[in-house]
Structure 1
Amino acid sequence: MKLKLIHLALAVLCAAALRSHAAEPVYQLRFDAGELKNTGSAGGEAQQAGILSLVDVVIDADLGIYAANLKMSANGSQGGALAFPESGSRLQLGGLSDELTLAMWVKWRGPHAHADKRHGLVSTMPAKKDAGWAFSILEDGRLQFNWVNEKGGSFRTSSASLAENQWTHVAIRWQGGEKSGGLEFFINGEPVGVNEKWTGGGPIKKSGLNLILGVMDEAAYLPLNGSLAEVNIFGSALSDENIRALAQAPRQSALPQEPARNVAKAVRPPRMVFAHYMVALPTAGGDASVEDYKREIQQAQALGIDGFALNSGGWTIEKKIPSYKERTRRIYEAAKQLGTGFKLFISADFATKLNFPEFTDMVLSFRDHPNQLKVDGKAVISSYKGENIDLTRNARTAFTDENAIFLIPFLRSNPQAELPSQELVEGVFRANQDLDGFFDFGAAGSPQDLCAATKRMAGVWMGAGKVFMAPVTPYYRGRGKNFRMFESRGFEGMAMQWENAINLGVDWVEIVTWNDWAESSYIAQFGTPADTQFWDDHYGKMLSHRGFAEASKHYIKWFKDAKQPAITEDRFFYFYRVHPKTTPAPDGRFPRGVENAEDRIYATVFLKAPAVFTIECGDVSARFPLEAGVHHVSSEFAQGTPRFQVIRDDQVVLAKTAEMPISGDSAWGNFNYFSSSNL
């Protein structure tokens, strides 16, 4: 008996040793803390590929760990993807004896989102699919492996299918030189068979392309309709036992502490869009009347905006007449008199000398107003730079029980960063977990950087069951000591931010801003597109941002309805600076970031049917044959007055000569954008 026990113990130890010495993955994505770090032997970090901002790394409510939610373009043909840089020389399977194991958790949402039969999981294939290999899910849930060798393309499929809308572990094992058993599919750790006899498929024709996850090829075509977690890619053929071990329940994540319970059960507020309103800068001037504010509210509601976040810093500063408190009272009164349900909430600006007693007065003065935005009966209050007075702690101490408020501020990280890293985002969260939600005041940055920062914040706050308010900004160009700019490529950058918010599924959007004339981030209209005089030229000559506002109407509806609106009429919007970037500003300076500016004429075109769109300016002309839908196009920059046309069936259906000429002599526009539309 003792001898048998010794033999059994040795067998267990040997099995444990085999498991502990399983091959190390070359690529491994665990998505810890929302990061894309490769913890496999190749090191490095995965990067977004395909269509920008369609990969959302958040804590999954079912798994309780971070997962990558891969989203698709509106027509479902392309989607978000993750690529491993400099992986083109690895795992190409160009040798007869090369081996491969792919293993991952996948939540497949089904075949309905795009018409093709394949949903890509991992691939090295080019767009032409004339080299490389690809692992995918078919429309009936079966797994498929495609490859190209010297004889051409081939594939095998699994004999079993995976279920829709539930997490499933899938794997494939490839041994190119094996004539029997060299290709096997696994579902939840168990082999499920191959549809046809395997006779060996290697060596595979090398594509030399990086490994890409979530799509079928390098063009991000045929995307996965679903999510991925715990991705492991090995350069060897794992045993059945080791694949079975990978299919055990995924490890749990440590941050946040209770997301798995909260996310699934959280009741989300209705999707709404607000605009950041600078109480210091009313369109009609500091002494704006209730009637003036009514006109601004009506202008906002015509775009689909649900309310204003009232930025106020100098609440009771005596030299401001009327005081910011009185201006705020007039805005609330204007909304009440209109009776259109327009919502308002205070956004306390602690970048000034605003103190907590003034903040308290802000809350108490308007919390019971009929137009005050509320969630669960609590008045919504936001802020800018609330960390300056330790707002979270002070507010939670002062407003309790029946006096509680719904606090959703913007707080800077420590150290401060306009575009905080994942580590800094999580630091803000850990220090402020008592908040009801979080607002990302994102304006100063490129559209790509703003989208990335928003994704980091949304992943953490929404992952913890909190309300998240994302920013969307049209353009940014500061003044004075803050003389800097960030290229938006006309409306293209704003559209990118709208789609980012839509794809992330955030609760609210706050347009940054309605009326910050100093930073040129406004969408409010102060006159006709041809008008340039405003506030006695206090901020210099102003330029219309009408195109940014009106083109957003489509995206506001898309966001609120969670469905892309049909285009029922042809429209176009145009955007350009009225001078080249080589002409200095009126004070002789150039803004920081001018090197990234592009001297081009941009247009965003909405077409109900295919047509040709043209841009002409000076001696430059451009012609764009376009399908029905939304398109962002641009032409070369030239001196003159731009003219735009929509031509269908050889007939001009829309035409417009812009209101402002482009000149190389004077930069009176001060690097701001001019925008308008065909109307």
Structure 2
Amino acid sequence: MLFKFILLALLGTLSLSAATPLPQEGPDKGASDRLVFCHFMIGITSNRKGAADYDDDMKLAKGLGIDAFALNIGVDPYTDTQLGYAYESAAKNDMKVFLSFDFNWYNTGQASAVGAKVKQYASLPAQLKVDNKVFVSSFAGDGLDLPAMQSAAGNEVFFAPNFHPGQGDFNAIQGALNWMAWDNNGENKAPTPGRNVSVADGDKAYVDALKGKPYVAPASGWFFTHFGSEVSYSKNWVFPSDLLWYNRWQQILGLSPRFVEIVTWNDYGESHYIGPLSSPHTDDGASKWVMDMPHTGWLEMSKPFIAAYKAGDKSVDKYITDEKLIYWYRPTPRDVNCDSTDTTMQGSPNNASGNFFTGKPNGWETMQDAVFVVALLKSPATITVASGKVSEKFEAQAGASAFTVQMGVGQQKFAVTRDGKTVMEDTSLKDIVDTCICGIYNFNPYVGTVPPEKTIDKLQSDGLAMLTQGLKVPCATNTLGGSRSPAPRSNDTWLFMYTAS
């Protein structure tokens, strides 16, 4: 399977400051030149039986305005089978796809093999082409013999790899993808005092290195991973995320790059998925922090931002067609102590990656104990958020706006009112608790919407296969979906009451 260990980006002479102004990539591109990609992990889809198993992903992504899936591949024996299904489904659903070579599994001495794989899929109808060239990307890969790769590909290749400024040969590529979509310390961990490389810093490094060539700017909502000794790929850290999904899309509108890549559709192990939990996949052990934690609200939030980006607009306001709230929060306060039962406290983990820490994930102090709310409105309204015993009201203007409320243990309630009348309201299916769910530290967010989604997004059986591996306490399965009953209506009461099942 594929498990990414993010490589350190060399950011050269950047000042380590979150205040770096947004760079401008170059001449403004028309709507037809702007494309949105989404990173898709083939390494966890070995259980898919045919092209039809990809159809829901393709349709959902296309409906958002995503143009192509970047199919992350390694050297698994089922890779070609799954690529065949994905290309077939994409063609049937009027989507595009392209290969993204993962150099945790490939090595830079395999240029001919990389080119041969490109050639294998280059002529298929769903293959993305940019400027009449076969579009190809990567995760890492600095030092790849590009002439050898191009020769073996047998086609003109638009290569936009995840090379790093100061490492890869930016003169020999057609564009570049920046993977670091989260503020960091320059050494692949959360920022520390005096060492903060912001996402905007990364934008500047890439735009400068590309010297006018197209930039693939990353957009991500979160990063948390918590693999312990129960697996061989142990890693345990977070990057500060909080309001990142909202703030990054605002940056994207200002930066106006030719390409955007959402990180990711289905990398559940690193908690930055926007695709459904129900999207068929195998369990790499991430189900411990992914179960009952849907992120499809982020998927819904991205739609008007994608539309604004493609139009070259700096504001999302006129692209809001459906009023809604999107909210997210971690399921427990950050100071809850789970050391006695957490999976990372046990055994002798493999720390060859240098990314493993015991107990709370490295960087946990950078996360706010808060509930984050984004309002997408057509006209001004009052937003009320009740987090446990904490309650706050906000005056939201038309358009997109974001609010932060101190986290409170208990139910999470949200309402929108205008002129004293309730427009919409709901109580989340996920309470905030001060206990260790499944016995572990869980820094993955629950994402919900108001109005709520019609169906509850749940992991399928294959996605739950490793749930109990390494756990020290019982762990109930797919607990969302308790009974809802109408509550008395008035201008200051909630429409729904929630009772846990």
TM-score (norm 2): 0.73
Q: CA deviation at 1:393?
A: 4.3
Q: CA deviation at 1:399?
A: 4.7
Quote the Cα distance in structure 1 between the aligned partners of 2:28 and 2:36.
23
The answer to whether residue 466 in structure 2 is matched with residue 466 in structure 1 is no
The answer to whether residue 169 in structure 2 is matched with residue 406 in structure 1 is no
**CA shift in 2, pair 1:266/1:591, >3 Å:** closer
Of 173, 179, 182, 1:441 maps to: 179
Pairs within 5 Å for 1:59-98: none
Q: CA deviation at 1:443?
A: 3.7
Amino acid at match of 1:409: P
- What is the aligned partner in structure 1 of residue 99 from structure 2? 346
Deviations 1:105-140 (A, max 9, x none): xxxxxxxxxxxxxxxxxxxxxxxxxxxxxxxxxxxx
**CA shift in 2, pair 1:613/1:391, >3 Å:** farther
Of 651, 654, 657, 2:427 maps to: 657
Pairs within 5 Å for 1:432-581: 432-445=170-183, 449-461=198-210, 464-480=211-227, 481-489=234-242, 492-527=243-278, 535=283, 539-542=287-290, 543-563=293-313, 564-565=315-316, 566=318, 567-581=320-334
**CA shift in 2, pair 1:615/1:288, >3 Å:** farther
Quote the Cα distance in structure 2 between the aligned partners of 1:331 and 1:379.
17
**CA shift in 2, pair 1:54/1:651, >3 Å:** farther
Q: CA deviation at 1:428?
A: 3.9
Amino acid at match of 1:287: R
Of 32, 40, 43, 1:280 maps to: 43
Verify the 8 A CA contact 2:182 2:241 in the aligned structure 1: no
Question: As a proportion of its length, which structure holds more strand?
Answer: 1
Quote the Cα distance in structure 2 between the aligned partners of 1:553 and 1:510.
14
Verify the 8 A CA contact 2:41 2:267 in the aligned structure 1: yes
Q: CA deviation at 1:277?
A: 0.5
**CA shift in 2, pair 1:538/1:268, >3 Å:** closer
Q: CA deviation at 1:537?
A: 6.0
Q: CA deviation at 1:404?
A: 2.2
Quote the Cα distance in structure 2 between the aligned partners of 1:453 and 1:381.
21
Q: CA deviation at 1:538?
A: 5.2
**CA shift in 2, pair 1:534/1:279, >3 Å:** closer
- What is the aligned partner in structure 2 of residue 271 from structure 1? 34
Q: CA deviation at 1:630?
A: 1.3
Quote the Cα distance in structure 2 between the aligned partners of 1:309 and 1:641.
38
Deviations 1:424-453 (A, max 9, x none): x2x346x33021111111245359712221
Quote the Cα distance in structure 1 between the aligned partners of 2:176 and 2:445.
30
Of 291, 294, 317, 2:52 maps to: 291
Q: CA deviation at 1:610?
A: 1.4
Quote the Cα distance in structure 1 between the aligned partners of 2:415 and 2:30.
47
Quote the Cα distance in structure 1 between the aligned partners of 2:423 and 2:117.
52
Pairs within 5 Å for 1:185-204: none
- What is the aligned partner in structure 2 of residue 204 from structure 1? none
Q: Secondary structure at the match of 2:217?
A: strand
**CA shift in 2, pair 1:432/1:483, >3 Å:** same
Quote the Cα distance in structure 2 between the aligned partners of 1:509 and 1:562.
13
**CA shift in 2, pair 1:527/1:395, >3 Å:** closer
Amino acid at match of 1:278: M
Alignment size in residue pairs = 397
Q: Secondary structure at the match of 1:329?
A: helix
The answer to whether residue 23 in structure 2 is matched with residue 56 in structure 1 is yes
Verify the 8 A CA contact 1:612 1:623 in the aligned structure 2: yes
Verify the 8 A CA contact 2:175 2:215 in the aligned structure 1: yes
Quote the Cα distance in structure 2 between the aligned partners of 1:390 and 1:324.
21
Verify the 8 A CA contact 2:24 2:256 in the aligned structure 1: no
Verify the 8 A CA contact 1:613 1:644 in the aligned structure 2: yes
The answer to whether residue 140 in structure 2 is matched with residue 385 in structure 1 is yes
Deviations 1:222-246 (A, max 9, x none): xxxxxxxxxxxxxxxxxxxxxxxxx
**CA shift in 2, pair 1:343/1:436, >3 Å:** same
Verify the 8 A CA contact 2:297 2:449 in the aligned structure 1: yes
Pairs within 5 Å for 1:243-258: none
**CA shift in 2, pair 1:288/1:276, >3 Å:** farther
Amino acid at match of 1:296: D
Q: Secondary structure at the match of 1:518?
A: helix
Amino acid at match of 1:272: L
Pairs within 5 Å for 1:206-245: none
- What is the aligned partner in structure 2 of residue 631 from structure 1? 401
Q: CA deviation at 1:358?
A: 3.3
Amino acid at match of 1:457: Y
Q: CA deviation at 1:47?
A: 7.3
**CA shift in 2, pair 1:526/1:397, >3 Å:** same
Verify the 8 A CA contact 2:115 2:151 in the aligned structure 1: no
- What is the aligned partner in structure 2 of residue 672 from structure 1? 444
TM-score (norm 1): 0.54
Quote the Cα distance in structure 1 between the aligned partners of 2:146 and 2:329.
42
Quote the Cα distance in structure 1 between the aligned partners of 2:286 and 2:404.
32
Amino acid at match of 1:459: D
Quote the Cα distance in structure 2 between the aligned partners of 1:445 and 1:265.
26
Q: Secondary structure at the match of 1:540?
A: helix
Verify the 8 A CA contact 2:22 2:200 in the aligned structure 1: no
Verify the 8 A CA contact 1:485 1:594 in the aligned structure 2: yes
Q: Secondary structure at the match of 1:478?
A: strand
Amino acid at match of 2:38: A
**CA shift in 2, pair 1:562/1:432, >3 Å:** closer
Of 633, 640, 650, 2:410 maps to: 640
Q: CA deviation at 1:621?
A: 0.7
Verify the 8 A CA contact 2:40 2:71 in the aligned structure 1: yes
Verify the 8 A CA contact 1:34 1:57 in the aligned structure 2: no
Quote the Cα distance in structure 2 between the aligned partners of 1:539 and 1:310.
22
Over aligned residue pairs, what C-alpha RMSD do you find? Answer: 3.0
Verify the 8 A CA contact 2:114 2:149 in the aligned structure 1: no
The answer to whether residue 66 in structure 2 is matched with residue 301 in structure 1 is no
Verify the 8 A CA contact 1:266 1:465 in the aligned structure 2: no
Verify the 8 A CA contact 1:54 1:500 in the aligned structure 2: no
Q: Secondary structure at the match of 2:304?
A: helix
Instruction: Give ranges in structure 2 of 5+ residues lacking alignment.
Output: 1-10, 185-195, 228-233, 346-358, 453-501
Q: Secondary structure at the match of 1:575?
A: strand
Quote the Cα distance in structure 1 between the aligned partners of 2:177 and 2:161.
5
- What is the aligned partner in structure 2 of residue 163 from structure 1? none
- What is the aligned partner in structure 1 of residue 128 from structure 2? 373
Quote the Cα distance in structure 2 between the aligned partners of 1:448 and 1:603.
25
- What is the aligned partner in structure 1 of residue 91 from structure 2? 336
Amino acid at match of 2:389: D
Amino acid at match of 1:351: N
Verify the 8 A CA contact 1:57 1:459 in the aligned structure 2: no
The answer to whether residue 138 in structure 2 is matched with residue 363 in structure 1 is no
Q: Secondary structure at the match of 2:44?
A: coil
Q: Secondary structure at the match of 1:645?
A: strand
- What is the aligned partner in structure 2 of residue 259 from structure 1? none
Quote the Cα distance in structure 2 between the aligned partners of 1:275 and 1:294.
15
**CA shift in 2, pair 1:371/1:328, >3 Å:** same
User: 4+ residue stretches of structure 1 with deviation over 6 A?
Assistant: 33-36, 45-48, 263-269
